[in-house]
Chain A
Amino acid sequence: QVQLQESGPGLVKPSETLSLTCTVSGGSISSDYWSWIRQPAGKGLEWIGRIYTSGSTNYNPSLKSRVTMSVDTSKNQFSLKLSSVTAADTAMYYCARMLRGVHDYWGQGTLVTVSS
């Protein structure tokens, strides 16, 4: 059973960079796509982007200028960096496996608050 776990600071100051890591267990990260998705409190879901194990990425154009994703297959981890954050980036951040277009396994989510 594949499991995903997000980790990273829960509080980030405005204008700084949000950094999160997703650790995959119960399976290898060395195939498939891996996504980041976020959800502001009380609102809907927004796809941030995905990374393939080769390092190839696709980002949501709405965030593309501020997003960087990377993967470390030796640690079975992939990561998200979102720069120049504002209060609008406050949200629950989820990582998920994307198998043939389907997000079938999700992490429990981690709340990131942007505040000084």
Chain B
Amino acid sequence: DIQMTQSPSSLSASVGDRVTITCQASQDISNYLNWFQQKPGKAPKLLIYDASNLETGVPSRFSGSGSGTDFTFTISSLQPEDIATYYCQQYDNLPLTFGGGTKVEIK
């Protein structure tokens, strides 16, 4: 199985701050990586697919980059409604695997 290592596991930032989350794959996954946002009690929501493509309707403050084994997810200006846990997920190989999640809180 491909292991997805996300960091940090949690972070606290102020409204307006730039927030960056990293995801590292245990082997080359090209750009077959998605990012999800999950709010408490809700299903995950797709934000970014194929490492850098913004899903329709998702605010442009969210972005993703990377390829191969190293990926980055960025919120350019943190908003109160962005409080959530964020997950990366690879789909290069089965079984599909998720990162451990990053919980984002407001300072």
Interface residues of A (CB under 8 A from B): 35, 44-47, 49, 58-62, 94, 96, 101-104, 106-109
Contact = CB atoms under 8 A, between A and B. Distances in A.
A107 B101 CA distance: 20
Interface in B42-57: 42-46, 49-50, 55
A44 B55 CA distance: 22
Which of B46, B96, B97 is packed against the most chain A CB atoms within 10 Å? Answer: B96
B34 interface: yes
A104 B43 contact: no
A54 B94 CA distance: 19
A67 to B, nearest CB: 11
B43 A47 contact: no
Contact of B91 (A45, A96, A102): A102
Interface of B: 1, 32, 34, 36, 42-46, 49-50, 55, 87, 89, 91, 94-101
Nearest to A63: B95
Given A44-B87, A109-B43, A61 B34 contact: no
Contacts of A46: 98
Nearest to A102: B49
A101 B91 CA distance: 6
B34 A47 contact: no
B43 A94 contact: yes
Which of A58, A103, A107, A108 is packed against the most chain B CB atoms within 10 Å? Answer: A103
A103 B46 contact: yes
B36 to A, nearest CB: 8
Given A101-B91, A103-B34, A47 B98 contact: yes
18 contacts: A35-B96, A44-B87, A44-B99, A44-B100, A45-B98, A49-B95, A59-B95, A60-B95, A61-B95, A62-B95, A94-B43, A94-B44, A102-B49, A102-B91, A103-B34, A103-B44, A104-B49, A108-B43
